[in-house]
Structure formats: C-alpha cells, structure tokens
Amino acid sequence: MPGGYFRRGLHKEGVYSLLAPTFQESPAKMRLVLSALSACVAVLAQTSVDTYVATESPIAKAGMLANIGPSGSKSEGALAGIVIASPSTVNPDYLYTWTRDSSLVFKVIIDQFTSGADTTLLGQIQNFVKAESILQQVSNPSGTVSTGGLGEPHFNIDETAFTAAWGRPQRDGPALRATAMIEYANWLIKNTSVSNVVSNLWPIIQLDLDYVAADWNQTTFDLWEEVDSSSFFTTAVQHRSLREGATLATALGQTSVVSNYETQAANILCFLQSYWNPTDGFITANTGGGRSGKDANTALASIHTFDPAAGCDATTFQPCSDKALSSLKVYVDSFRSIYTINSGIASNAAAATGRYPEDTYMGGNPWFLTTAAVAEQLYDALIVWKGQGSLNVTSVSLAFFQQFLPSVTVGTYAASSSTFTTLTAAVETFADGFLAINAKYTPTNGSLSEQYSRDDGTELSAADLTWSYAATLTAFGARAGVTSPGWGAAGLTVPATCQTSGGGGTGTVAVTFNVYATTFFGENIYITGNVDSLQDWSTDTALLLSNPDYPIWTITVDVPASSDIQYKYIRKVNGVFEEWESDPNNEFTSPASGTYTTNDTWR
C-alpha cells in the first residue's frame, strides 16, 4: 500500500536521531523539518487509506451480496432473502442464517437503496422481508412466534429450525430486524401508500416490537453468544427500535401500541444508564460473564444507534459523547499489549482490536468488523463535531483527547479555534489508522474473513464473513460523511422514576409450578429460570419444590406480569447439584393479573 513504509518506519524519534547532527545548531529548523515530515506522513497514510477504500468498496459489496440467496455466488442452498453468515462449513460451520447478522446486513442494503445510492436493490429487500416473515413463524427451541420463538438466534438456510444446543435466546435480533424494516417502511410510505405498509410490513414489524416491549428486561445471550445476562448492545438497540417503532406506529395510525412502546422505551433508557462504569471510565458490556466488561459490544452499540440529530448526547451514548469516547479508549487500549501485531505501535495510534481482551475463541484474535467499528465511531464523531461547529471536552473525555493534545483542558472549542482543528485532524488520522490496519491484513483479492492472526495477521476463522463486508462498507460510508436517518434520540431525558423489571406489564402474578418427577431417597427437585424470582438460572440458589402429593412436586412463585417466563427443573442430591432436565426450556407468557398454573413432566 502507498505510504506503508512511512507508517512503519518514520517517527519523530527516529528522524531526530537521523538529523540531529545536522541540526544541532538550529533547534528551530529541526522543529520545522519534523513538522513538515509529520505532515507528509499523515498525507501518505491518508492516501493509502483512500486507495484501500476505493479498491475494497466494490469487493466488499460484491462479497456481501454473494452471501445472499438465492442467486448469490456463495449462497448455494439458501432460499431467497436468506443471508448466510459465511460459506464456511468446517472450523467453523457458519452456513446458517442469523437474525442479528441478516438484519445488520440488510440495514446496509436498505440504507443504500433508500438513499438512492443503489436503486437496483429493491428485489433483495423484498426477498428479505418475505424470508424474515417466514422465519418469524417457525417453531424452534426458543418457542413459537407467541411464546418466545422470536428470540431464536439462527436458523438453517432452508428456513427450518436449528434444533441443536445453542446460546438462546438472543434478544437483539428482533430489535435489529425491526430497525431495518422500519427504514424500508418509511420509504414505502413516501413512495407507495400507508395502507401498503399497514397490510404488508407492519404485521412483521409489530411482532418484533411487541417482543422487545415484553421481554427487553429478561436475560439474553450477548451478541457473541457466550454470556447469558443483560447486554449493553442488546439494550441499546432495543431502545432504538421502540422509539422509532412508536413513531412509525403513529404514522400508520396504529395508535394502540404507541403508549406501551414509549413507556418501555423510557424504562429501557433508564436501564441503559446502569452499564456505565464511572470509576474506570467505560461502558460495561455485560452484567454477567465474569470478564472485565471491555468489549467491542459497546462501540458497535454506539454506531448502530447513531443519530446525527442527537449531537454528542451521553444519555444515548452517541459516538461523540464523552462516555462513548472514554469507553472507546479503554477498549482499544486493552488490546495494545496482548496482540503481537500491535507491538511497537505508539500508545496514541490505532491498534488492531478484537471482541474482548479475554477472548479465546479460535485463539482470540483481532476481527475485521471490530477494528472497523472503532474507525466508524470516530468518523461518526467527526461528522457531528464538524456539523455543529464545535467539540466539547469534559472531565470524562479528557483522557481521550489528551492522547492527541496533552495540553488540552476541559472546555468547548469552536471550529474556528486551533484546538478544534488540531483535535479533529488527529482524530481523523487516528480513525484512518484502524482502516489502515485492516488494509494491511486484507489479502490481495480483498476477501474478508472473520479474524486475522494476533501474531502475524494472516486470515483466520470463517472465510468471507458477511458481517465483515457490511461493517467495512458502513465504516467507509462514515468516513465519507454518509449518515442514516435519525431515529428520535435527540432531546431524550431519563425519567425520574423507571420500571426496570416486570416485562411489558406491571407488578407480579402468582404462578404455581407442578412437575411430575420420580426420585430416590435424598434426591429433590428444584426450579430456576430467567427472572429474579426464579433465581436467574442459578443452580446454587434454585428453589426447592415440595412433594405433598408425590410424585408431583410443587411450588408457587411471584413472577413478573405480562412477561416471557422461561424455566427448568433440576435435581439435587442432599443439596448438591446433580442434573438439569433436557432442552428446550419450559416457557410461557405470564398473565397481566391473577394466577397461573403449569403442569409439567420431568424430561
């Protein structure tokens, strides 16, 4: 790549040692030369990224479309509108369709179509809508369409259920799918009719939004499918989906759902604040999992809930907010010392990043999409700063900005100031650096796998990852100043009182759990499940059932009303955990009031 030599070999200290004998008598001349050389390095680095963007853009788009059925060149066997995660079938097998990945990919496609950038994509979008409407109705291990099945993370590419063991449910998919389809719905309102949207698209969107409104406060596997807790990414995209869902419902005259969506969106916004770690200055990605909480999850959430009209709002963790910038620095810095390919990189320069520093999957390596996400968050920040003509440095974001200008202090800097010019130029160079790293490890044919080696940068894991291509395209778009329509993040405030438990309803209802189970002396039956009153899936604190009518075991528990309740029975011998009953989870939706009784048989 042009400029590669300069990125690797030219730095102030090296140039100083080379030129010091010549300029010992003129420090002023030395500073001028160094300044000029630094400017040259920046220009050459920018040129190399320009070249990468120009050459990789069509390759990334072609790679993305190649993985969409039925006509994508690498999507053999996938039905129309089905996005395969990757054509890889071994080590790892990703020849499935994920709701999350598909929705993020089609958000890119819908953005390009509705903006007029590519008007040939309408057929792809129509196929996606039809495919997702079918998948919504497929009964699966997470349930049916009305009993939690919308939280099923992935399906076979022939639109049948994937039934093997997996981290389920994953509650970000319905929110992301709703967001993608809402943008298409808004285009259809302008270009066809409201009645068209009400008849053909709203029923699909409403299913997802109703699921989000009812189940947002239930535990979920995170977007890496490893941690079952609450996830910042999931909470953030759920909040967005309900805000823009309420707006769409109003436009369509579907007013009966608006109040619930708005109420639950306000509650989610309250809960969103709880992820902020003020002591260490970063957004904690998951409430469980036993990890540091430093995770690409947070940068991805920021860029996928970016609303240019919201400025640098910290309540919704906008890309240029002080909290999002502080968190980004902590996240990036966590990889500087653990990847060999980051060795020797300055502490204020771009570095390859992965999912989270403790990652061991496939060896725990940098990902193309996470490194691109850092660049995208920075480009989004630049869009807002330049648009509003100022940037604000707070005590929270001070460390982020001091990377580039150690003398900067807390304050607001207008676009006419030298501080604004210096900082925005430095952040732009910093952002380009992350794309330059991806460029360095992109093979000559432009293909993008899931990961590249932490030791030497060679491609690893799933080849031609669709999400890698989509993430690359959105980062390139942000670099060019492209934005999507806003979603209503501007001017939001956290309510004084919030309900952060209890699903879509309020209060609790008494549920009696009955299970037929034979046992031997010393063996007892316990229950645990997905809500606090069922001990959040803990085997240690699971609730003991009684057996006055053995072999029927029974217990009555107050659970959240109008909520998705999932549970399983376990066996303990003399209080020591023995075994779970088999999959899938038992599941029902609790009533809004009154009581409820289950009658189960141990599986």
In DSSP notation, 388-421 reads HTEEEE-TTTHHHHHTT-TT--SEEEETTSHHHH
Give the C-alpha distances (Å, rounded to integers) separating 336 from 42, 330, 344, 354. 21, 10, 9, 11
3-state secondary structure of 325: helix
Question: What are the domain boundaries of the chain?
Answer: 4-51, 508-601
Bridge partners (DSSP) listed for residue 225? none
Residue among 511, 312, 508 at smallest CA distance from 397 = 312
Collect all residues with Cβ–Cβ distance below 8 Å to 506 and sequence separation of at least 6: 499, 561, 562
432 is catalytic: no
d(CA 474, CA 393) in angstroms, rounded, equals: 27
Region class of 411: left (phi > 0), else alpha (psi between -120 and 50), else beta: left
From the list 132, 183, 215, 222, the catalytic residue is 222
Judge contact between 602 and 525, C-beta under 8 A. yes
3-state secondary structure of 583: coil
d(CA 595, CA 603) in angstroms, rounded, equals: 25
453-471: b (≥16 Cβ within 10 Å) or e: bbeebebbbbbbbbbbbbb
382's enclosing H/E stretch is: helix 368-388
d(CA 113, CA 111) in angstroms, rounded, equals: 5
432's enclosing H/E stretch is: helix 418-441
> How many angstroms separate the first and last alpha carbons of the chain?
60
28's enclosing H/E stretch is: helix 27-66
Judge contact between 233 and 285, C-beta under 8 A. yes
578 is catalytic: no
Residue among 375, 276, 288, 291 at smallest CA distance from 322 = 276
Q: Token match 């209890």: residue? A: 502
Give the C-alpha distances (Å, rounded to integers) separating 18 from 272, 282, 533. 52, 40, 69
DSSP classification of residue 370: H
**Whole-structure pTM value:** 0.79
d(CA 178, CA 217) in angstroms, rounded, equals: 18
**Packing angle between helix 466-479 and helix 418-441, nearest 10 degrees?**
150
The amino acid sitting at 102 is: S
d(CA 164, CA 582) in angstroms, rounded, equals: 12
Q: What are all long-range contacts of 112-117, with beta carbons under 8 Å and residues at least 24 apart? A: 113/187, 114/183, 114/184, 114/186, 114/187, 115/482
In DSSP notation, 65-97 reads HHTBTTT-TT-TTPPTTPBPS-S--SSS---SE
pLDDT of residue 503: 37
Q: How many residues does the chain have?
A: 603
Question: Annotated binding residue at 602?
Answer: no
Region class of 311: left (phi > 0), else alpha (psi between -120 and 50), else beta: left
Average pLDDT by stretches of 10, the chain with 603 residues: 33 44 54 52 70 97 98 96 97 97 98 97 98 97 94 98 95 98 98 96 97 92 93 97 98 95 95 94 91 96 98 98 98 98 96 97 97 98 98 98 97 98 97 97 97 97 98 98 95 82 56 95 93 88 91 92 89 92 90 87 94
3-state secondary structure of 135: helix
Bridge partners (DSSP) listed for residue 598? 513
d(CA 331, CA 348) in angstroms, rounded, equals: 13
d(CA 586, CA 163) in angstroms, rounded, equals: 15
d(CA 414, CA 335) in angstroms, rounded, equals: 33
- CB-based burial label for 518 (10 Å; 0-12, 13-18, 19+): exposed
DSSP classification of residue 540: S
Q: Which CATH architecture has domain 508-601?
A: Sandwich (2.60)
From the list 225, 226, 358, 536, the catalytic residue is 225
Torsion of CA 529, 532, 536, 538, to 10 degrees: -100
d(CA 277, CA 435) in angstroms, rounded, equals: 28
d(CA 420, CA 307) in angstroms, rounded, equals: 22
